Structure 1
Amino acid sequence: MRPVLVLASFGVSAPEAREKSLAPIVREIKAAFPDFTVTEAYTSAFIRRRLQEQGIEMLSLAERLEELHREGVREVYVQPTHLTPGEEYENKIVRETEPFLSRFSVCRVGEPVFFCEGGGKDDDIARGLAAIVPDVMPQDGEETVLLGHGSPHRHNPVYTLLQRCADEERLPVHIGVLEETDVPNFAMVLERLERRGKKRVLLAPLLLAGGRHVAHDLAGEERDSWKSRLEDAGFSVRLDLRTLGERAAFRRIYVEKVKRLLGR
């Protein structure tokens, strides 16, 4: 029986967003690893319920691994599409895989995108930023703001590391997060922009997939969206709503992550 690659994602319920962001990653992984069966799992119970209401059955990682074990699969590799090694990765991927480690001949878990930091060819922070920035370089008189999710439970250092890397490269890029209890928050990004002295901003998502966060929290006409708040602060805002999953250079990172997982 062929070995199996399980792509474990947080999940996307909107069909158009799923087709633009996650589906291309799945297709490219299948093309890059033709000797493997490629399947998916979603870690978000909320997203799985939303899909079930649409008549789409998507399993959690534990459910997918249980299914593969029943089918007699002996070799399983789990590659997360998550961006950071946060609580979702730790609790919904690493911990959910642990009971199955002894039930397969081979069962390994890969790394999220921004995992290794510290310089060299394996520095995920520098490599990830290099895959994003050429697509979102500002025009004359602009500064780029990339908006990620952040964590409501504890600070996720990845966003700070991304900002430090951008600053070391002298890039006109500012990293922010939606969660006001995490950093860099809106006030911090606004302070950076004001120090730069430019009044035009290119605003783009630092998110794998689209959905409410992009349509409303980032680009919405609501007063609390980042677009509206920047405009209220006197900035002219240009939007690039393409997610990371829609950017070919960024998707290639997942192929490299799977190669690392397989030891190639």
Structure 2
Amino acid sequence: MKVSKLFSMLVTLVLITSLFVGCSGNNVPNSSITEPAPSTSTEPAPSTSDENDGYEEGTSETDDIVNTTSAEKVILVVSFGTSYNQTRHLNIGAIETAIQNAYPDYQVRRAFTSQIIIDKLAKREKLTIDSVREAMDRLVLDKVKEVVVLPTTVMNGFEFHDVIAEVGQYTDKFESLKIGTQLLASDDDYDKVAEVLVAETSHFRSEDTAIVLMGHGTEHEAGVTYTKFQETLNAKGYTDYLVGTVEHGIELDDIREMLSSMNAKKVVLRPLMIVAGDHANNDMAGDEEDSWKVILEQDGYDVEVVLEGLGQIEGIQDLFISHVKDTIDSESVSTTPAAAAVGIAANRIESGTYSIEVESDASMFRIVDCQLTVNESGMNAVMTLSGQGYGALYMGSTEEAVADKDNQHIFTLVDEKHSFTIPVEALDRGISCAALGLKSGNWFDHTIVFRSDNIPADAFMSAQIDAELTGGSGKASVESPATLLYKDGQNFAQIVWSSPNYIYMLVDGIEYLPINVDGNSSFEIPVKLDTDMTVVACTVAMGSPKEIEYNLYFDSSSVK
């Protein structure tokens, strides 16, 4: 009780002292900072201690999400993360809570992409937060059946790309795996976010006030997101809003130039980021000489700073919830693109250079151009990716890539995109391709398919392949080797029977008629190589038609 009274007296003394100092009129700054507003969520406020107010250090009730239980359906919310306790609670925690309330049949889990933040929280707060890989491994270990992954990134830049690459390695581990989009994914998203932010900051708007939204910035091609968002605001008539970035974009000097052409006397700074973390607190609102607040004050503006992340805005939470709905309604991520098991090699294609398409198992590992060269020594492709996120490729697994540095393929810069010259084993089948992420420094496994669709039909050469027939009475046979053709991404074999009495064949339930009139019965049927194929052939050798089941086997190693 004595300690409590003494503490109360000290607080009273401090308040009285501050009152007199405040009335003195000295050292009054021309800026103000709006701290994060209380969450509209029903969650309790962050915990505090005697040493700090809970803003930066400590944990909150929303951090309890790391304590997972068994579940069949999980929504994994993936965020960059922040070590600031209150903004983690009000933004990341609020998004997670809103999604959990919207989808009570799912368990919501958390993963961070920043290992630095994960390590800092583990050391400082003893708070264990999974990385994406750890979270996915835990889902497998927990035997979760349905997984929805929601990245909370603003754009589909490097961070989003890395999430997709890591998650994509688990496509065969669950009954269903679906991956959501970033905040600003569609034109409708841009419209909604613009209206939400304007409504959130409407009380600041006046003729002499400019509202500046500070994003992070990126070297990734997705950096055009900031420009598009500015264009969206302008198109709606919100020309008193400016969008800038900490780096790699519309930086502070550009913003200062724009402000000089306006009649603004006051500037409101607000982060265009999911959380108001280090960049918001230091680069934007800090007291160092290079912070946006300090520099704009020196320019003569009255500056007000809003330290609130996008995640604590209900309209932003609602938009993420709608993204979850769209993801749940979408198709599950396939393990590999559909393709024939063996595909087609160089020895069956005329020499030349062909412009072809390449399918990828991940939207962010996107191939925008591929020039395939075929010659006597094999096939090579000059393959151009959609941006500059990857620095090297290896035709194989990540483990093989790390161990085999001599066969890593380094990029060349073509039209501001990374291009790679790589060997191609075959077309129309899944091929393992490891990619080195420049930002993370990690290798990621992918599966790609070089498509043959754009190659002219007359460029495919016929070949010979050994054919083996078993089944039936053992009396029938087919000619071997058989002629092997390639059409529309599929192998076809010309089957010549040992008698003229076969009137049709059935392959996967589809009827094929003879391609000849005289001589032994001949058919052209689609075939699978290196596997036992069950077919049905109808013969009239015994008078009435009789269907007989056979097995055909075509050995790909015998192709010549």
Q: TM-score range by the shorter chain?
A: over 0.9
| Secondary structure at 1:29 match in 2 | helix
- 3-state SS, counterpart of residue 81 of structure 2: coil
Contact 1:208–1:244 (CA under 8 A) maintained in structure 2 = yes
Paired residue secondary structure (1:156) = helix
Offset, 1:178:
0.6
Q: Which residue in the other structure is 2:540 paired with? A: none
The 5 A counterparts of 1:166-245 are 166-171=233-238, 172-179=240-247, 182-245=248-311
Q: Report if the CA contact (8 A) 2:77-2:96 is conserved.
A: yes
Distance 1:254 1:124 in 2: 10
- Native 8 Å contact 1:7 1:79 kept in 2: yes
Cα deviations by residue, 1:90-109 (Å, 9 ceiling, x for unpaired) = 01x10001110111111111
Structure 2 CA distance for aligned equivalents of residues 67 and 248 of structure 1 = 30
- Map 1:46-195 to 2 at 5 A: 46-53=116-123, 54-91=125-162, 93-117=163-187, 123-137=188-202, 138-140=204-206, 141-152=208-219, 156-171=223-238, 172-179=240-247, 182-195=248-261
Instruction: Check conservation: 2:210, 2:268, Cα contact below 8 A.
Output: yes
Residue 223 of structure 2 aligns to a residue in which SS? coil
TM-score under structure 2 length normalisation: 0.44
Moved more, 127-136 or 76-85: 127-136
Q: Deviations over 1:218-264 (max 9, x none)?
A: 11111111111111222111222221122222221111111111118
Given that 1:136 and 1:204 are in contact with CA atoms closer than 8 Å, whether structure 2 keeps it comes out as: no
Moved more, 148-157 or 193-202: 148-157
Asked if the contact 2:268/2:305 (under 8 Å) is kept, the reply is yes
Asked if 1 retains the 8 angstrom alpha-carbon contact of 2:72 and 2:143, the reply is no
Structure 1, 144-153 or 168-177: larger mean CA deviation:
144-153
1:18 aligns with 2:18: no
Distance 2:257 2:236 in 1: 20
Tell me which residue corresponds to 1:120: none
Compare CA radii of gyration and give the structure with the larger one: 2
Structure 2: stretches of 5+ with no match in the other structure: 1-70, 331-560
Aligned-partner Cα distance in 2 for 1:24–1:250: 10
The verdict on how the C-alpha distance between 1:155 and 1:40 changes in structure 2, with shifts beyond 3 A counting, is: closer
Letter in 1 for 2:245: V
Whole-Å Cα distance in 2 between the matches of residues 110 and 154 of structure 1?
Answer: 20
- Once residues 45 and 262 of structure 1 are traced to their aligned partners in structure 2, the CA distance between those partners, rounded to angstroms, is 28
Q: Equivalent pairs: percent with the same residue?
A: 28
1:61-109 per-residue CA deviation (whole Å, 9 max, x = no partner) reads 1111111111111111101111110000001x10001110111111111
Per-residue Cα deviation, 1:140-172 (whole angstroms, up to 9, x for no partner) = 221110111111566611111111111111201
Q: Which has the higher strand share?
A: 2
Residue identity opposite 1:75 in structure 2: E
- Measured after TM superposition, the shift of residue 2 of structure 1 is 2.5
- Counterpart CA distance in 2 for 1:221 and 1:131 is 29
Where structure 1 has 5 or more consecutive residues not aligned to the other structure, the ranges are 118-122
- Displacement of 1:51 in angstroms is 1.3
Deviates more, 1:197-206 or 1:145-154: 145-154
Contact map agreement 2:83 2:117 (CA 8 A) in 1:
yes
Which moved further from structure 2: 24-33 or 12-21? 12-21
Q: For CA contacts below 8 A with separation 6 or more, give which structure has more relative contact order.
A: 1
Matched position secondary structure for 1:196? coil
- Higher helix share goes to which structure? 1
- Aligned residues between the structures: 256
Q: In 2, Cα distance between the equivalents of 1:139 and 1:64?
A: 43
- The alignment partner of 1:73 has SS state of coil
Give the secondary structure class of the aligned counterpart of 1:35: coil
Structure 1 length-normalised TM: 0.92
Does the Cα contact within 8 Å between 1:21 and 1:209 map onto a contact in 2? yes
Residue 46 of structure 2 is matched in structure 1 by: none
Letter in 2 for 1:131: V
Distance 1:136 1:148 in 2: 16
Greater mean alpha carbon deviation, residues 12-21 or residues 170-179: 12-21
One-letter amino acid of the structure 2 residue matched with residue 177 of structure 1: T
Distance in 1 (alpha carbons) for counterparts of 2:269 and 2:316: 18
